[in-house]
Amino acid sequence: MGIIRRDRYKRGSWNVISDQDGQKRKVEDMRMQWDGLFVGKEEFDPKHPQLELRPRPDNPARYPVRNTEPGNLVLPPFTNSDIV
């Protein structure tokens, strides 16, 4: 089997260099990856689905920690001897 020349003439096409391995190929044998690299069909790596996740925003419940209404407020008893 002989060597396949990638710089053969094909009307309406041109040669390009792969960003992945630096080999010369025809433009119709190349693909643009999601990260902007121009690579050969056999080197093409599709974008992983996990990179497209859009997490839902959290909705934290904002409940008061304690009841601060004056009628229900209970303070611990203390005496003057407790004050320093």
Residue 51 CB partners (closer than 8 Å, separation 6+)? 34
Read off the tokens for 44: 């093409």
pLDDT in tens, 56-82: 887 777 765 665 666 666 677 776 665
Q: What is the pLDDT of residue 38?
A: 92
Read off the tokens for 75: 């303070």
Determine if the pTM surpasses 0.85. Answer: no
Residue showing tokens 């008893």: 77
CB 46 within 8 A of CB 34: yes
Residue showing tokens 């094909």: 10
Q: What is the pLDDT of residue 56?
A: 82
